[in-house]
Amino acid sequence: MVSTDRLLAFATMSFLLIIVPGPSVLFVIGRALAQGRRAGVAATAREWFARSPQRLSLVGGVGGLAMIGLGVTVASTGRKD
């Protein structure tokens, strides 16, 4: 069973991780506030297209293959992590 203090620490850190915006969100908000709506929309499009190859690779199965490769590597090195 997990102790109460560890569970509370985990819940607190999870909550903080969820509510803190990432760098992409801060970039888009900063651009929109500094340069207006058009720049904000352009920054949003830039962020979306910058992450499209990553999304497509995950949907296409490359992410799954990478995880299998990672598992085989860890299994072959004999690590007990």
pLDDT of residue 81: 56
pLDDT in tens, 3-60: 899 999 999 999 988 888 888 888 999 999 999 999 999 999 988 888 777 777 777 7
pLDDT of residue 63: 67
Tally of CB atoms within 10 A around 31: 19
H or E, element range at 78: none
- pTM attached to this predicted model: 0.52
pLDDT of residue 31: 93
Which is nearest to 39 in space by CA: 50, 53, 29? 29
For Cα atoms 74, 80, 81, give the angle at the middle one, nearest 5 degrees. 80
Q: Over range 60-72, report the average pLDDT.
A: 75
Tokens for 67? Answer: 């995880």
- Contact indicator for 44, 28 with CB cutoff of 8 Å: yes
